[in-house]
């Protein structure tokens, strides 16, 4: 890949340059020293990947990401000194279209690249992005018949959401509009590294009256809670309605995968599920959303106009997996409309005992 570096610090530029060239598989397209220069360079010579710093003079990495994705969209990886300390800005950049984030590798005394994020971690991010952008990823659902449709039985409700590029802001848009007594548990698969998914959950928790936390092995979805896949393994719904993690399938590029989770919900959830697929690069979640629809679930895909990257929702629309295609500003209202009476139903049932 031809990789561009956007950073105003000479030492960081050299660290990134050595990290990129160390594998022998990539080359440096160009170097920009602020966001405004990066926007201009992308317009003149679009690279395969941009390594974008956050804090820079003239124009910061968030605004540069937003402008590049609007004018000459290309994959962007946020590379900053500390992902944890910059987490709100990281999520803002991901909302603008950045794929992922990683700490900047640093040069040691002997000129080797090392640090709290090793060079291997940095390079693995680049390899993953290359796989996402250069080959389609097929779903790993069990075989099913597309023409079969029936309504799930049972009274328990569940909302499942898959998101990737641009996902943090889209998720915040949804959960901030849901009431504290929303009558269905929510489980989210967001393509984000386990290194800072905890920060994502804490950030989202501040946006909503619901309680947002990481999903734990053995958890059962609960009303009032928003659970987020919390490792680089795949989250799955088990036959006993509990959540678990699995490394399989190992060759799935998306980790955690929305397809893997959606398919497990379609196969094992005994109540009524609703599936939502939001902005993101690639095709993850499209086949799983189709399986949910074919099991009787109401399914929603985010529309092109409101997506940072219209990849995953487009794949779902192309498969006819979405019952509705909605602007992100309308998704929360649709979730409320589909499950409007569950809380009252539970109260009536309890009072009749």
Active site residues per annotation: 164, 191, 284
Rounded Cα–Cα distance for residues 347 and 343 (Å): 6
Q: What is the C-alpha separation between 274 and 188, in angstroms, rounded?
A: 12
The rounded distance, in Å, linking the Cα atoms of 56 and 206 is: 27
End-to-end CA distance of the chain: 65
Residue labelled with tokens 């309308």 = 330
Q: Tokens 């602007």 — which residue?
A: 327
Between CA 274 and CA 24 the distance in angstroms is: 46
Query: How far lies 174's CA from each of 140, 263, 280, in Å?
Result: 28, 23, 16
Rounded CA gap, 13 and 5, in Å? 7
Return all residues near 151 (Cβ < 8 A) that are at least 6 apart: 272, 296
Q: How far is Cα 308 from Cα 302, in angstroms, rounded to an integer?
A: 10
Question: What span, in angstroms and rounded, lies between the C-alpha atoms of 268 and 262?
Answer: 10
Name the phi and psi angles at 114, rounded to 5: -155, 180
Question: Could you count the other beta carbons within 10 Å of the beta carbon of residue 353?
Answer: 4
DSSP state of 179: -
How far, in Å, are 61, 147, 158, 183, 256 from residue 224 at the CA level? 35, 34, 11, 7, 23
- Name residues whose C-beta falls within 8 Å of residue 126's C-beta, 6 or more positions apart in sequence: 1, 3, 20, 26, 49, 77
Strand partners, 332: none
What is the spatial distance between Cα 293 and Cα 312, in angstroms, rounded to a whole number?
16
């Amino acid at each position: 890949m031809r990789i561009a570096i956007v950073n105003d610090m000479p030492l960081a530029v050299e660290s990134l340059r050595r990290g990129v060239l160390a594998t022998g598989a990539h080359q440096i397209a160009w170097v920009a020293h602020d966001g405004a220069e990066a926007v201009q360079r992308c317009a003149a010579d679009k690279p395969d990947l941009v390594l974008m710093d956050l804090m820079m003079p003239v124009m910061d990495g968030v605004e540069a990401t937003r402008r590049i994705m609007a004018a000459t969209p290309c994959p962007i990886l946020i590379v900053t000194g500390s992902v944890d300390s910059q987490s709100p800005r990281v999520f803002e950049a991901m909302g603008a279209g950045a794929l992922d984030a990683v700490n900047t590798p640093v040069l040691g005394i002997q000129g080797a690249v090392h640090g709290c994020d090793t060079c291997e971690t940095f390079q693995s991010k680049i390899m993953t992005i290359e796989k996402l952008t250069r080959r389609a990823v097929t779903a790993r659902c069990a075989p099913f018949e597309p023409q079969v449709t029936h309504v799930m039985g049972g009274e328990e409700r569940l909302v499942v959401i898959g998101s990737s590029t641009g996902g943090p802001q889209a998720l915040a848009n949804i959960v901030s509009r849901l009431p504290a007594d929303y009558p269905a548990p929510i489980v989210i698969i967001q393509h984000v590294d386990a290194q800072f998914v905890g920060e994502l959950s804490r950030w989202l928790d501040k946006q909503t009256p619901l309680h947002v936390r990481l999903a734990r092995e053995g958890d059962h979805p609960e009303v009032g809670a928003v659970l987020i896949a919390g490792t680089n393994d795949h989250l799955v719904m088990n036959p006993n309605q509990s959540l678990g993690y699995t490394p399989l399938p190992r060759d799935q590029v998306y980790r955690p995968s929305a397809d893997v989770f959606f398919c497990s919900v379609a196969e094992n959830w005994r109540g009524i599920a609703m599936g939502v697929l939001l902005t993101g690069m690639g095709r993850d979640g499209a086949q799983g959303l189709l399986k949910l629809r074919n099991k009787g679930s109401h399914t929603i895909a985010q529309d092109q106009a409101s997506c940072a990257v219209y990849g995953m929702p487009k794949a779902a629309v192309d498969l006819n997996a979405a019952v509705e295609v909605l602007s992100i500003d309308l998704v929360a209202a649709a979730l409320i409309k589909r499950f409007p009476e569950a809380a009252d139903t539970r109260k009536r049932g309890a009072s009749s005992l």
